[in-house]
Amino acid sequence: MEDQMPPASPTPQTPAGSPGFFRGQRIVVLPPSVVRNALAQPLFSGLLPTDIGWFPSASGHHRVRPAGAAETVFIHCISGAGWCEWGGRRHTVGAGDLVALPSHAAHAYGADQRHPWTIRWFHLVGADLPALREALGFDANRPVRSMTDDATLALLFDDALSVLEQGYTSSHLLRASRALAHYLAHAAWLVHHSPVTMPDTPARIARCIDYMRLHLDRPLRLAELAALAHWSPSHFKARFRQHTGYGCIDYFIRLRIHAACQLLDTTALDIQSVAARVGYPDSLWFSKAFKTITGLPPSSYRKKKKG
């Protein structure tokens, strides 16, 4: 893509005291020609920011879009409060909440009158957005997700905003788009592992996984793990899958195969001995499970050059 330089200042100059001005705000809106040219390139077709900004204590902030926006709108409330309307419902937004409003869907949002929000916000286009929204847990009934904020998110956002304040060349756009992709990926991690959404689940699951690692040579007993987590077996299975993305048995098999890989890489044990160490008395059964996970039989894996 041909490099394109912005005007001398990429931030619109909004007079202090006007309805769209919030003291200390930062904002960048990419020219439509830059967006069109970028989206024609495979490098940016998955995800591209079109607008990004920081609004501190945004008293009076209010947007209504009856036809929606051409982009997916993300708003991360850092402090204060606000609201959004989507799908015919009004949702409150508080500190730590992330809002995602899909493109071309009617919506409105604004700051709370008494405690106006401070927000990071950005508009994104690209083919990856439906999958990213799903990974974050958004659906037709849920445009708001609660999570903790952390330094990683702050650094990633500032990186994306700062680089776009400098220009719109291909290298600027690449860095900003990857920073915001990382922002959403880290947000998805926080949504599913945050104490805000699951108060003590991470600690309980971690305790169970440690137990599984220490007993790879034993059959997996769901009742033991559920008791260790102080949950019923059915609740444990649901929480475990929600937290790890895998069923309990599937995760245990992967732990076994991972340990087997380490033994094959770092010891001279024969394959039957490795199989026994990770709970497979039948080496043929072990080889089948190993190939299912790694794509190679154990003997081929051991011969493969690594590093």
Task: Write down the pLDDT at residue 15.
Answer: 37
Per-residue pLDDT tens digits for 14-68: 433 334 668 889 999 999 999 999 999 999 999 999 999 999 999 999 999 999 9
CB 232 within 8 A of CB 226: yes
Prediction pTM value: 0.64
> Do residue 93 and residue 232 come from a single domain?
no
> Do residue 176 and residue 216 come from a single domain?
no
Bridge partner residues of 29 (DSSP):
51
- H-type helices in the chain, by residue range? 32-39, 42-45, 129-135, 151-166, 170-193, 201-214, 222-229, 233-244, 248-266, 271-277, 283-294, 298-303
Q: Map residue 301 onto helix, strand or coil.
A: helix
* Gap between the Cα atoms of 36 and 30, Å rounded: 10
CB 93 within 8 A of CB 117: yes
Q: pLDDT-based confidence at 306, cuts 50/70/90? A: confident
Question: Highest-confidence range of 6-20, 46-60, 135-149, by mean pLDDT?
Answer: 46-60
Summary mean pLDDT of the chain: 88
> Do residue 101 and residue 162 come from a single domain?
yes
> Do residue 63 and residue 173 come from a single domain?
yes
Decide which of 128, 162, 193 is a domain's last residue. Answer: 193
Decide which of 135, 167, 193 is a domain's last residue. Answer: 193
> Do residue 285 and residue 152 come from a single domain?
no
Task: Write down the pLDDT at residue 287.
Answer: 95
Is residue 5 situated within a structural domain? Answer: no
Per-residue pLDDT tens digits for 110-126: 999 999 999 999 999 99
List the helix and strand counts (H, then E) for the chain.
12, 10
Average pLDDT over residues 90-118: 94
> Looking at this protein, which amino acid is placed at residue 50?
T
CB 213 within 8 A of CB 279: no
Task: Write down the pLDDT at residue 194.
Answer: 59
Average pLDDT over residues 188-206: 71
Task: Write down the pLDDT at residue 158.
Answer: 94
* Gap between the Cα atoms of 2 and 36, Å rounded: 12
> Do residue 94 and residue 149 come from a single domain?
yes
Q: Over 90: is that where the pLDDT of 70 sits?
A: yes
Decide which of 175, 193, 211 is a domain's last residue. Answer: 193
| Segment (H or E) for 28 | strand 26-29
What's the angle, vertex CA 37, arms to CA 72 and CA 133, rounded to 5?
A: 20
Per the structure, the count of domains in the chain is: 2
Task: Write down the pLDDT at residue 304.
Answer: 87
Q: Map residue 13 onto helix, strand or coil.
A: coil
Domain that includes residue 84, residue range: 26-193
* Gap between the Cα atoms of 195 and 189, Å rounded: 12
